[in-house]
Amino acid sequence: MEARFVFSFLCITVVCVHSSPSPLEDIVVDKYYVPKICSRTVASGDYVRYHYNGTFMDEKKFDSSHDRGTPFSGQVGLGKLITGVDRGIQGMCVNERRKLTVPPHLAYGSVGAGDVVPPDTTLVFDVLLLDIWNMADKVQTSTISKSQDCKRTVQNSDFIRYHYNGTLMDGTPFDSSYDRKQTYNTYIGEGWLIKGMEGGLLGMCVGEKRNIIIPPFLAYGEKGYGTEIPPHASLTFDVLLVDLHNPKDDIVVDNEVVPESCSRKSVVGDFIRYHYNGTFLDGTPFDSSYQRNNTYNTYIGMGYVIAGMDKALQGVCMGEKRRITMPPHMAYGENGAGEDIPGSAVLVFNIHVIDFHNPKDLVDIQIIHKPEDCNLTTDGDDLIHYQYNCSLMDGTLLFSSNDYENAQETTLGADKVIDGLDEGLRGMCVGEKRVLIIPPHLGHGVNGASGVPASAVLHFDLELLGVQKGVPEGYLFVWLKDTPPELFTVLDINKDKEVPLEEFTEFIKLQVAEGKGRLRPGQDPEAIIKDMFKNQDRNKDGKITAEELKLKVEEDAEKAQHEEL
């Protein structure tokens, strides 16, 4: 109702009251709809917004805020409304509907209101209350639900991300971040939000849901905002805090599970393999290496991963588990990453370090048991028998000699096993037990092998069961003592100046038995001796002569000191 109506009514009321000594009729209030929930009612001094239809007693309409599309706003109890309406809306709840029958002396009296309301007219107002507020109001907050694990709350200068539904006091929605499918992201305490929202968000925990009611003077005031928020509108927000951080934040490492044995911690330049689950602060998952059934493999401290992860992976032990909370400026920043990680998102990684190594690492040999009597040790070219278990550093068993009927056999230096194992098997005594930690460049490398992941550090439990001393590659027999000066003379046992296979075999077996020479282990001695004989029998007549032996020795003059013959 316009101000001129109010002014006219006030003047007429004085005249009517003093000119008529009889009692005057009061307003009639019909509360035909009262909401079940009513947290507040209109009191004197409150500001209100309401829609109305104004009719005469014959239901003829003379005014309507609905027709204008703009609700009426005013203050109650201070004579700024016609008296009948002023009285009739007190005690109303938001969304309540009342029909007010206002007699003339409480409306526009004997004067009326221009050409709209005749003198001495009873008026009927159908009122729908939309809003109540008072200049003494403050922001009202109520917690709908709260995370049990709340280590930190929103403070000024924090950057936050939150979802919200915004409605007017009558429940009319005006905005929703859910509809846009993205959070609202902003700093707190720097004037980027309406005052009431800044105050209402303070003290919230991530995962907390809060209802915030903001009076107009702490929202968009007398001007409103666009077409969605009318002037003098109180606002209500249902807010879900998704995450928060401060630009000064560093990574936070907690929930650490460190193995009892940790001989070494990771450093810059190491290559690491680890599993992880990645979530946002509210627990929503965005990625997991477990789902791909592959570890994430990278170098540390060289910029191959986001800064927060690069830092968090330094100083870890093999087998360690830890949770890393990472602010966005140490993760994917204000732009996020693809569709999975939104801008300015705080990330949480639960990681499990499988192993790490450095390209300069050697085989780590740990002697678990060594017999007191250890006069003979393994070396290159030796034929050895051993037992082993091979596993990853997290304990996953890959291979075991127990899977075979017989112990494993290999010749050291013959490229029959991975380099790290060949190295770790050297210098062992029979009965000795060792643990080997083999970096991938001495194992199965960056490509791995059947059953062995790429770039995997390997753990071997070894026990040496037996050793047969070997001969250099390309040799069948070596002298362990000086070669006899007149070799053919000692070979020619019957002194007939010819050495057949039988004499040659008898001689070689004697040298082995007396410890003067050694045959290549792991093969049939008879076959080896026969091959040796063929090598000396130059003309293939089944006999070795002094001349044939001499020619052979001259050809091999540049070989190692303990040559064949």
- DSSP assignment, residue 395? S
Look over the chain and give the mean of its residue pLDDT values, rounded to a whole number.
90
| Cα torsion through 193, 196, 202, 203, rounded to 10 | -150
> What is the DSSP track for 243-291?
EEE-TT---EEEEEE--S--S----TT-EEEEEEEEEETTS-EEEEHHH
Give me the active site residues, please.
Answer: 164, 174-175, 194, 220, 237
pLDDT at residue 556, as a whole number = 55
Contact 410, 549 (CB under 8 A): no
Report the distance separating Cα 551 and Cα 534, nearest Å.
14
Render pLDDT for 438-462 as a digit per residue (tens, 0 to 9). 999 999 999 999 999 999 999 999 9
- Distance CA(517)–CA(511), nearest Å, equals 5
List, for residues 188-244, the tens digit of each pLDDT value: 999 999 999 999 999 999 999 999 999 999 999 999 999 999 999 999 999 999 999
Q: Which whole number is the average pLDDT over 58-80?
A: 93
> Can you tell me whether residue 305 is helix, strand or coil?
coil
Contact 344, 185 (CB under 8 A): yes
Residue 22 predicted with pLDDT over 60? no
Per-residue pLDDT for 10 more than 60? Answer: no
How far is it, in rounded angstroms, from Cα 215 to Cα 237? 12
* Eight-class DSSP state of 406: S
Sequence-separated (6 or more) residues with CB below 8 Å from residue 189: 155, 156, 157, 158, 198
Condensed to tens digits (0 to 9), the pLDDT of residues 328-341 reads 999 999 999 999 99
**What pLDDT was estimated at residue 554?**
52
Provide the pLDDT for residue 12: 32
Both tokens of 457, joined, read: 């550090």
Give CA–CA dist 178/174, Å, rounded: 12
| pLDDT tens, residue by residue, 133-157 | 999 999 999 999 998 888 899 999 9
pLDDT score of 553: 53
- Of 78-82, 444-448, 490-494, the one with minimum mean pLDDT is 490-494
- Among candidate residues 499, 466, 305, the one with its CA nearest the CA of residue 377: 466
Rounded distance between C-alpha atoms, residue 565 and residue 157, angstroms: 88
Task: Give the rounded distance of the alpha carbon of 367 from its chain centre.
Answer: 39
- The pLDDT tens digits of the residues spanning 286-324 come to 999 999 999 999 999 999 999 999 999 999 999 999 999
Give the residues across from 369 on adjacent strands.
433
pLDDT for residue 74: 93
Work out the percent of the chain whose per-residue pLDDT is above 70: 93
Share of the chain residues as helix, strand and coil, in percent rounded to the nearest 5: 20, 35, 45
Chain centroid, CA 469 distance in Å: 54
Burial (0-12, 13-18, 19+ Cβ within 10 Å), 520: buried
CA distances in angstroms from 150 to 197, 244, 376, listed in the order given: 21, 12, 65
Residue 24 confidence (pLDDT): 63
404 and 433 in contact (C-beta within 8 Å)?
no
Which amino acid is residue 180, in one-letter code?
A: R
What H or E segment, with its residue span, contains residue 490? helix 487-491
State both tokens at 535.
């090598």
pLDDT band at 538 (very low <50, low <70, confident <90, very high): confident
Q: Alpha-carbon torsion 334, 336, 342, 344, what sign?
A: negative
> 502 CB contacts (<8 Å, ≥6 apart)?
none
Instruction: Tell whether the model's pLDDT for residue 414 goes beyond 60.
Output: yes
Query: Please, which residues have CB within 8 angstroms of residue 173's CB and are 6 or more apart in sequence?
Result: 165, 166, 167
The rounded distance, in Å, linking the Cα atoms of 484 and 493 is 14
Mean pLDDT of 499-509: 88
In this structure, how many other beta carbons lie within 10 angstroms of the beta carbon of residue 46? 22
Low-confidence winner among 102-106, 300-304, 407-411, 508-512 (lowest mean pLDDT): 508-512
Structure tokens at 314: 């330094």
- The 10s digit of each residue's pLDDT in 465-486 is 999 888 887 788 888 888 888 8
Most confident by average pLDDT, 5-19, 23-37, 375-389: 375-389
Which conformational region is residue 383 in: left (phi greater than 0), alpha (psi within -120 to 50 degrees), or beta? beta
Averaged pLDDT, 343-372:
95
Rounded CA gap, 1 and 270, in Å?
78
Distance between CA atoms of 526 and 271, rounded to whole angstroms? 51
345 within 8 A of 331, measured Cβ to Cβ: yes
Mean pLDDT of 183-188: 96
Inter-residue contact 144 to 48 (CB < 8 Å): no
Least confident of 139-148, 363-372, 454-463, 526-535: 526-535
Q: Which pLDDT score is estimated for 422?
A: 96
Q: Phi-psi category of 280—alpha, beta or left, where left has phi over 0 and alpha has psi -120 to 50?
A: beta
Contact 387, 401 (CB under 8 A): yes
Query: What is the reported pLDDT for 5?
Result: 38
**Residue 3: band (very low, low, confident or very high) from pLDDT cuts 50, 70, 90:** very low
pLDDT band of residue 265 (cuts 50, 70, 90) is very high
Token pair, residue 93, equals: 């709840």
pTM of the model: 0.74
